[in-house]
C-alpha cells in the first residue's frame, strides 16, 4: 500500500510552530492586544528577561512573505525574527516599531511637498525590497506607515503575498477601499503595479487630505499622482525605482 506522507518541510514547520508557541507563553508577557480580526490577532509582547518589545502575529492564511523576509533586512521594513507555519495558523514575530503612524499625524496637519517626497521615497525603498523578493504589499496606506524619527517604516503585510505571475486571479479580495487599485477587486491578479497605485493615493492624501478623484495635488506631485493612479496598470510607473526617481 502506498501511504501518503507529509513533506519534510511541512513537518518541520509544525514542530517550530508548536515549540515556538509554548516558549512564547513561558518567556514573554502580553502587553496589549493591538488588533483583532476574523483572520487572527496582533499582540504587543515583552521578553521577560530583557524587557524587549515585539509584535506577535497569530493568523490564518499565508505567511510566505514573512518567511522570505527572514533572510533580508531593510531599514524601512520591520525586521522579521521568526515565521512559524502551523497546520492552519501561523505565528510571526517581528520588530516593534515605535512611533506615530502617518494616519495619526495626518489628523493634525498635511505634509509639505518636501516632507512628502522624503517619506514616500522611503516607502518606495520598502516596496522595492518587497517587490525584488517577488512580494506585493497590497495595503499601502497612512495607517501602515510609522515614522520612527526621520525614518518611515512600512508595516502590516497581512494583505501581502508573493506575486506568482503564472498563477491565476487571487481568490481573496483584500486591501482598503480607496487605496486598493482597481485590479485588486477580483478582476485580475494584483502585482507590484497595484502598490504603485496605492502610493499615488498616499501622496495625494499627504498633500491634500483627499482622494485624487476629489482633489488632485498641485504641481509636480499632482502629475506623479496621476501617473501612479492611471486606471491602466501598464500606463503607471513601471516599478517603484522609477517612481522614486520621479519624486
Q: In angstroms, what is the minimal distance from the CB of 13 to other proteins? A: 8
Binding of other proteins by 169 (CB under 8 A): yes
Nearest to 154 by CA among 101, 76, 55: 76
Q: In angstroms, what is the minimal distance from the CB of 80 to other proteins? A: 8
The contact pattern for other proteins, residues 59-78, with x = CB under 8 A and - = no contact, is ---------x-xxxxxx---
Length of the chain, in residues? 247
Q: In angstroms, what is the minimal distance from the CB of 6 to other proteins? A: 8
Catalytic position from the list 139, 156, 158, 195: 139
- Residues linked to residue 78 through DSSP beta bridges, in sequence order: none
Q: In angstroms, what is the minimal distance from the CB of 132 to other proteins? A: 4
The contact pattern for other proteins, residues 223-242, with x = CB under 8 A and - = no contact, is ---------------xx-xx
- Is residue 139 flagged as an active site residue? yes
Q: In angstroms, what is the minimal distance from the CB of 141 to other proteins? A: 21
Of these, 28, 96, 111, 197, which contacts other proteins (CB under 8 A)?
A: 28
User: For residues 35-54, which are near other proteins according to CB under 8 A?
Assistant: 47, 49-50, 52, 54
Q: How far is CA 82 from CA 24, 29, 55, 92, 158, in A?
A: 12, 17, 11, 6, 15
Sign, Cα dihedral of 100, 103, 107, 112:
positive
160: exposed, middle or buried (Cβ count in 10 Å: 0-12, 13-18, 19+): buried
Nearest to 214 by CA among 229, 192, 236: 229
Provide the grid cell at 203. Answer: 501622496
Compute the CA torsion angle 213, 214, 217, 218 (nearest 10 deg). Answer: 110
159 contacts 139 by C-beta, under 8 angstroms: yes
Binding of other proteins by 151 (CB under 8 A): no
User: What secondary structure letter does DSSP report for 184?
Assistant: G
Which residues are near other proteins by CB under 8 A? 1-2, 4, 6-7, 9-10, 12-13, 15-16, 19-20, 23-24, 27-28, 47, 49-50, 52, 54, 68, 70-75, 79, 81-83, 93, 124-125, 128-129, 131-134, 163, 165-169, 171, 192, 238-239, 241-242, 244-245
Q: Catalytic residue positions?
A: 139
Amino acid at each position: 500500500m502506498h501511504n501518503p506522507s507529509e513533506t519534510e518541510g511541512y513537518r518541520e514547520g509544525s514542530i517550530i510552530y508548536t515549540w515556538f508557541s509554548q516558549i512564547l507563553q513561558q518567556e514573554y508577557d502580553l502587553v496589549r492586544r493591538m488588533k483583532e480580526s476574523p483572520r487572527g490577532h496582533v499582540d504587543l509582547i515583552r521578553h521577560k528577561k530583557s524587557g524587549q518589545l515585539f509584535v506577535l502575529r497569530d493568523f490564518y492564511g499565508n505567511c510566505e512573505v514573512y518567511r522570505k523576509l527572514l533572510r533580508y533586512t531593510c531599514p524601512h521594513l520591520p525586521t522579521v525574527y521568526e515565521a512559524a507555519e502551523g497546520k492552519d495558523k501561523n505565528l510571526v514575530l517581528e520588530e516593534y516599531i515605535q512611533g506615530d503612524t502617518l494616519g495619526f499625524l495626518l489628523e493634525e496637519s498635511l505634509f509639505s511637498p518636501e516632507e512628502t517626497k522624503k517619506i514616500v521615497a522611503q516607502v518606495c525603498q520598502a516596496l522595492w525590497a518587497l517587490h525584488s523578493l517577488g512580494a506585493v504589499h497590497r495595503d499601502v496606506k497612512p495607517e501602515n506607515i510609522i515614522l520612527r524619527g526621520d525614518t518611515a517604516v512600512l508595516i502590516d503585510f497581512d494583505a501581502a503575498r508573493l506575486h506568482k505571475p503564472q498563477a491565476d486571479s487571487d481568490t481573496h479580495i483584500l486591501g482598503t477601499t480607496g487605496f486598493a487599485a482597481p485590479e485588486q477587486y477580483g478582476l485580475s491578479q494584483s502585482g507590484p503595479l497595484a502598490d504603485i497605485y496605492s502610493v499615488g493615493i498616499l501622496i495625494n492624501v499627504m498633500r491634500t487630505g483627499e482622494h485624487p478623484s476629489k482633489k488632485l495635488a498641485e504641481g509636480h506631485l499632482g502629475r506623479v499622482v496621476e501617473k501612479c493612479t492611471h486606471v491602466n496598470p501598464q500606463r503607471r510607473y513601471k516599478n517603484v525605482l522609477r517612481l522614486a526617481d520621479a519624486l
